[in-house]
Each structure stands twice: as C-alpha cells, then as structure tokens.
C-alpha cells in the first residue's frame, strides 16, 4: 500500500524515471528494474555526454571578438564565480548591517532616547537575486493573465455568439511578439502609473504586463474550448436537477473543463517564461534578461561563459516550471484512473 502510494506520487510529481530506482530499492524484480534504469536514466546520460563532447570540440573552433566560444568547463567556472560573487555580496551586506547595528547600539548607550534608523543595503543584485526577480515577474504576469483569460474563456465557451464575436481579435493579438508590445506598454505605463512612491518599479510592471499580453491566449483559447465541449449529458443532468446558471457554471462547467484549462495554463506559463527574458532585456527589469544583456554590453572575456550559464539556467527553470504545471495537470485530470 505504502509502495503503491509512493510510486503514484512519484508519477504525479513528474519523477517517472525515479520509479525503477525506488522499485529496485525495494528489491522488486531487480533484473527488470536494472534494464528500466539503464533505459530511463542511462540513455539520457549518454546523450548528454555526447552533447557536451560536441559542444566542447565545436566551441573551440569558433573565435569571436571576445575570445573562443567557451566550452562546458568554462561555463561551470562561470557558474562557480557567480556563486562566489553572490556569497561575497551577501557577506558585504551582512557586514553593512552589522556596522549599522553597532553604531546604533553605541548611540543608544550614550543617549537612550536617540532615534536610530536601519538603512537598507543597496549593493548590486547578484545572480540569485536576478533569478528571484525573474520568477516574481513571470508569476505576476502569468497570474494576471490567468485572472483575465479564464473568465473570458469560460464566457466564450458558454456563449458561441461571444466566441464568434471576439475570436478574430484573439487570433490577431495572439501572434504579436513581446518586442512589439513592450514600447507600447512602456509608454502606457509611464502615462498611467504615476506615483511618488511606487510599490513596484516601472521596469517590473512593464515586463510583467508584456508577459501577460503574450501568455494569456493559450489559457483563453483552451478554456473556451474546454467549456464549449463539455459532454452534453452532463449539462442535461444539471438542467434536470434545475441548477441555477451560476451553480451550473461553478459545479459543472468549470470542473468539467479543468483539465483543458490546465493544459492552457501550462502552455501559457511556458510562453510567459520565454517572453520574459526578451521583455527584461528591453525593459531593464533586473532579472535574467537584464543579466544577459548587461553581460553582452560588458563584453569582458568572461561574458560569453556567463551568458551560456544564464542560457542553461533559463532552460532548467523553464523545465522545472513546466514539470510543475504538468504535475498540477495530472492532479486535476479526472479521466485517467488511479491504477
């Protein structure tokens, strides 16, 4: 029972490749598990090694104005140096607060009524800070997109007339690149988002809105399709028991189309993450996009390796976000039986 549950959750969490390892640990048909491990884990490792070999031999032959293209080794080093910089910056920050603290204590000892302040540290953001900024931006944009797209999608699914009416608008806006949206968004935000003490920096708002504009469409379209294609009998059941319109939407339309909605959300988040990097470059939002851009402008001998490290980071985070959405999707999908 425990084993079944454990395997079920691994599958749900997207760690399907772990299943044979767990089974092997429980000594469940070890020979078969060995073969399964070789297939599920061994083959990808072989492919990765081959890829790395091709990369390092190929990269060495490309000479750019910033030196030869870095191979895997240089990229790992770049990653390590980014980590060192992060630690150093954190130590500096700690030291900064420590000094303030001491100064304040001294002040208070002299005069217990003295007013003391803690000034925030204003060092430059480290690589990890930039990752966090990017994630915050993408989730803000994605959340806003979902909040807009799901209700409109439900409305379109329920009303073929509405769907016919706004479908052309959706089809035209859907393929627009983030680079085209951004200048417009920047101008509109500058005009409307005026405040002396803004809660969020403008660059953040610009990037998030650009993400919203680009990633809301798959959710909207999938939601509309999911709602429009609900089994007619399920709706008839609702009519027979005389559910009110709102209850019908809440208890039948939305749960029935949840798997489709999540398919849309998954695509949306993927697009949002892709779009974000470009938006951050242009909007100068201090995330991974700005990091890549700054390194490119910087043009030191280390820059290319750092950019490549960023590329790999972006890819990995995108992969993690997608697996996360896939797990959520499996949780809400009701058609596949629990084995």
Partner 1 sequence: MSHYLDISHISIEFPTKNGPFKALDKVDLKIARGEFISLIGHSGCGKSTVLNIVAGLYQATEGAVVLESKEVNEPGPDRAVVFQNHSLFPWLTVYENVELAVKQVFKGKKNKAEIRDWVAHNLELVHMSHALHKYPAEISGGMKQRVGIARALAMEPKVLLMDEPFGALDALTRAHLQDALMEIQAELNNTVILITHDVDEAVLLSDRIVMMTNGPAASVGDILSIDLPRPRDRLALADSPDYNHYRAEVLTFLHQKQAKPDVPIVAKSATATPADAADTDQKLDKVVGA
The smaller minimum CB distance to partner 1, of residues 113 and 336, is found at 336
The reply on whether position 252 binds partner 1 by CB under 8 A is yes
Q: Which strand (E) or helix (H) includes residue 302?
A: none
The reply on whether position 335 binds partner 1 by CB under 8 A is yes
Please state the separation of Cα 261 from the chain's center in Å: 18
149 in helix, strand or coil?
helix
Number of residues that bind partner 1 (CB under 8 A): 22
Report the C-alpha gap between 296 and 307 in whole angstroms.
Answer: 8
Instruction: Please enumerate in sequence order all residues whose Cβ is within 8 A of that of 274, keeping only pairs 6 or more positions apart, or say none.
Output: 318
Report the C-alpha gap between 286 and 133 in whole angstroms.
Answer: 7
Determine the interface stretch with partner 1 among 66-74, 133-141, 250-258, 282-290 (rule: CB under 8 A). Answer: 250-258
Asked whether the beta carbons of 40 and 50 are under 8 A apart, the reply is no
The reply on whether position 331 binds partner 1 by CB under 8 A is no
- Strands 63-64, 67-68: pairing is antiparallel
The reply on whether position 249 binds partner 1 by CB under 8 A is no
Asked whether the beta carbons of 283 and 186 are under 8 A apart, the reply is yes
The reply on whether position 113 binds partner 1 by CB under 8 A is no
The reply on whether position 246 binds partner 1 by CB under 8 A is no
The reply on whether position 242 binds partner 1 by CB under 8 A is yes
Asked whether the beta carbons of 294 and 152 are under 8 A apart, the reply is no
The smaller minimum CB distance to partner 1, of residues 192 and 240, is found at 240
The smaller minimum CB distance to partner 1, of residues 103 and 239, is found at 239
Asked whether the beta carbons of 123 and 165 are under 8 A apart, the reply is no
The reply on whether position 337 binds partner 1 by CB under 8 A is yes
The reply on whether position 4 binds partner 1 by CB under 8 A is no
Q: Which ranges of the chain does DSSP label H, i.e. alpha helix?
A: 2-12, 19-25, 30-37, 43-60, 72-110, 127-158, 160-173, 178-192, 202-228, 232-240, 245-248, 254-283, 288-298, 303-332
Determine the interface stretch with partner 1 among 63-71, 80-88, 136-144, 242-250 (rule: CB under 8 A). Answer: 242-250
> Which parts of 46-105 interact with partner 1 (CB under 8 A)?
none
CB of 67 to partner 1, least distance (A): 58
CB of 238 to partner 1, least distance (A): 9
CB of 231 to partner 1, least distance (A): 7
> Which parts of 222-241 interact with partner 1 (CB under 8 A)?
231-234, 236-237, 239-241
CB of 153 to partner 1, least distance (A): 18
> Which parts of 140-179 interact with partner 1 (CB under 8 A)?
none
The reply on whether position 250 binds partner 1 by CB under 8 A is no
The reply on whether position 255 binds partner 1 by CB under 8 A is yes
CB of 335 to partner 1, least distance (A): 6
The smaller minimum CB distance to partner 1, of residues 197 and 233, is found at 233
Structure tokens at 43: 């083959």
Q: What is the DSSP letter of 39?
A: I
At 68, give phi and psi (nearest 5°): -70, 155
Report the C-alpha gap between 233 and 241 in whole angstroms.
Answer: 12
Residues at the contact surface with partner 1, assessed by CB under 8 A:
231-234, 236-237, 239-243, 247, 251-252, 255-256, 258, 334-338
């Amino acid at each position: 029972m425990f084993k079944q549950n454990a395997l079920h959750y691994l599958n749900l969490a997207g760690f399907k490749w772990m299943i044979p390892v767990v089974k092997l640990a429980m000594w469940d048909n070890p020979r078969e598990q060995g073969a399964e491990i070789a297939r599920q884990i061994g083959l990808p490792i072989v492919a990765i090694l081959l890829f790395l070999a091709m990369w390092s031999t190929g990269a060495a032959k490309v000479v750019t104005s910033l030196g030869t293209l870095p191979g895997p080794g240089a990229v790992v080093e770049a990653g390590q140096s980014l980590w060192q910089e992060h630690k150093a910056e954190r130590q500096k920050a700690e030291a900064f607060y420590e000094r303030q603290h001491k100064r304040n204590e001294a002040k208070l000892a002299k005069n217990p009524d003295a007013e003391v302040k803690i000034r925030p540290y204003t060092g430059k953001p480290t690589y990890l800070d930039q990752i966090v900024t990017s994630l915050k931006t993408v989730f803000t944009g994605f959340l806003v997109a979902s909040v807009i797209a799901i209700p409109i999608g439900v409305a379109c699914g329920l009303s073929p007339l509405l769907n016919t009416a706004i479908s052309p608008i959706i089809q035209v806006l859907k393929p627009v690149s983030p680079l085209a949206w951004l200048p417009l968004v920047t101008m509109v935000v500058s005009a409307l988002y005026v405040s002396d003490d803004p809660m969020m920096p403008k660059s953040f708002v610009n990037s998030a809105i650009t993400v919203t504009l680009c990633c809301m469409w798959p959710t909207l379209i999938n939601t509309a399709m999911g709602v429009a294609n609900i089994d007619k009998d399920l709706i008839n059941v609702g009519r027979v028991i005389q559910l009110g319109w709102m209850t019908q939407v809440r208890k039948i339309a939305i749960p029935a189309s949840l798997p489709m909605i999540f398919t849309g959300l998954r695509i949306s988040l993927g697009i949002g993450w892709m779009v974000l990097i470009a938006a951050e470059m242009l909007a100068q939002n201090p995330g991974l996009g700005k990091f890549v851009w700054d390194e490119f402008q910087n043009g030191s001998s280390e820059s290319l390796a750092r950019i490549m490290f960023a590329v790999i980071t972006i890819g990995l985070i995108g992969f993690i976000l997608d697996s996360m959405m896939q797990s959520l999707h499996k949780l809400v999908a009701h058609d596949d039986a629990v084995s």
